[in-house]
Amino acid sequence: MKLRVEIAALDVLTLRLFDEIDETNMPWLITAGEQLRAQFGDHLVDLVPSYTTLMLHYNGQQLTEAEALRRVHAALDNLQPASTAAQGQLHQIEVWYDPSVGPDLPRLAQLSGLSIGDVINRHGARDYSVFALGFVPGFAYMGLVEPELAAPRLSTPRQKVPAGSVGIAERQTAVYPLLSPGGWNLLGRTASRLFDPQREGYSLLKPGDRVRFVAIDRETFIDQGGDVTPMAAEQ
């Protein structure tokens, strides 16, 4: 880790810890967030983690820029990454993988030279780090998928992607929490609710959490309240 501090606005700092996206960044980012919250206390307005950075918004009426920078260095200059026990929560998200709700599954199999079953098994064979939230509420960017499963976004995004759709774009994977446009390659669907206005924090996932996708059959998906409405590849 090599800290670089960039002035983003009068009371906003971008703290760049890394240059490359990597799952091993997350323990450092988690610990950095904890240390910064302790240093800034009530002077902290917001702290937004991403793949390699933290955006820190402090109260500019209470702290000068010089004092904010001093607190940043006090928090991060001797930073050590979080232990495995201190990492975020591990979530299991059950997915019905099927071409009827994952219309890009056959194409991904063809591109990778794998069978559909192998694509499903490989997608669910590892834990994915939650790097960042964005796009729509509860949309978690996760990675990294195996290089064999990586696929570019669709050249023309779909106008309507159903909530719960699970997809891949390049080496990232995600679940669409809401009905929305989207250009990710769809593999299947989950009944899990990633965004819930009644939930504290609204989002099921947060940066630093880990996700393991678990394949289930159609009947189990229906029992969970899943929507089995087919989706055409061109939809």
pLDDT in tens, 192-232: 999 998 888 789 999 889 999 999 999 999 999 999 999 86
* pLDDT given for residue 232 in this prediction: 65
Judge contact between 15 and 56, C-beta under 8 A.
Answer: yes
| pLDDT score recorded for residue 234 | 53
In the prediction, which pLDDT does 24 show? 85
Q: How confident is the model at residue 83 (pLDDT cuts 50, 70, 90)?
A: low
Query: What is the chain's mean pLDDT, rounded?
Result: 92
- pLDDT value of position 85: 45
| Confidence at 62, pLDDT banded by 50, 70, 90 | very high
Q: Is 83 helix (H, G, I), strand (E, B) or coil?
A: coil
Is the pLDDT confidence value at 63 over 90?
Answer: yes
Question: What domains does the chain contain, in order, with CATH numbers?
Answer: 4-86 (3.30.1360.40), 90-223 (2.40.100.10)
70: Cβ contacts below 8 Å, ≥ 6 apart: none
What is the pTM assigned to this prediction?
A: 0.84
Q: How confident is the model at residue 116, as a pLDDT? A: 97
The tokens for 164 are 């719960």
Of the candidate ranges 30-34, 49-53, 81-85, 127-131, the one whose mean pLDDT is the lowest: 81-85
